Amino acid sequence: MSVIAVQAGAIGLLREGLIDQIALSAQQIAQADELAGSRERPELYRRPLRQIDALRALIEQIGWEGEPAEEAVDLAIHGWALTQAICSQATAIADMLAEVEHDDQTRREQNLAPQLPNLLRDGMALSDLAREILREL
């Protein structure tokens, strides 16, 4: 695998996706903790902890906050976390697209800008990034 350039327009989306995935892994730890005898079964915690480590490593590299800038990402190191973040955000965008017509009608009535152009821009940024990853595989 190799290093890809993640465009600045995708960094914010990746940050959101990584945080969502960290939260899901934390929920897995909490669920494991509720099982009887879980404290004597460390294997219940290993996978979600490894996932959090991988997700956190990528968000540490791209930055938790601040102005997004293009970032070189090594797929051998961060490929799994990168694809998890992309999938998370793609699902979120798909869910929002299902409701965008109704939401944009409400926004027009309130003299607010429609969300569809933003969702399409974000979806294209994720699509471009996924295509870049596939080219490198």
- Domain extents in the chain: 3-136
φ, ψ dihedrals at 74, nearest 5°:
-85, 115
* Structure confidence at residue 5 (pLDDT): 95
Per-residue burial over 14-30, b if 16 or more Cβ lie within 10 Å, else e, is: bbebbbbbbeebeebbe
86 Cβ neighbours under 8 A, 6+ residues apart? 14, 17, 126, 129, 130, 133
List of the chain residues with pLDDT < 50: none
For the stretch 96-129, pLDDT in tens is 999 998 888 999 999 999 999 999 999 999 999 9
* Structure confidence at residue 93 (pLDDT): 96
* Structure confidence at residue 41 (pLDDT): 85
* Structure confidence at residue 34 (pLDDT): 83
* Structure confidence at residue 1 (pLDDT): 59
φ, ψ dihedrals at 34, nearest 5°:
-80, -15
* Structure confidence at residue 69 (pLDDT): 95
